[in-house]
Amino acid sequence: PWYLCNHRGITHAALGLAVMAVVVGGVAAAIGRLLRPEEPTRLGSLVLAAGLGLASHLLLDGLNTYGIRPWLPFVETWYY
């Protein structure tokens, strides 16, 4: 289906996962600094947590019949 081919594009690939983990971790760190400026915010921990959450999403998407293309934009092979 057209929707799944586009939905499971670069955002459902290793490169997209890495970029999104840094962005989500950075946003969470910025919010933490705004809400509690007196406490140090651990950017690395937040990026790791975001990466693990995103990776679990990709893992679960890879278990269904539509699959994922984890090596986009370099390889377009679907894995189911």
> Which of the pair, 9 or 26, is modelled with greater confidence?
26
Taking residues 7-13, what's their average pLDDT?
A: 84
**Percent helix, percent strand, percent coil in the chain, to nearest 5:** 65, 0, 35
Helices (H), the chain: 2-7, 14-35, 43-62
Which stretches of 1-80 are assigned E, i.e. beta strand? Answer: none
The model's pTM: 0.84
Give the tens place of pLDDT for each residue, 30-64.
Answer: 999 999 999 988 999 999 999 999 999 999 998 98
Q: Supply the pLDDT for residue 67.
A: 85
User: If you average pLDDT over every residue of the chain, what do you get?
Assistant: 90
Amino acid letter for position 73 = P
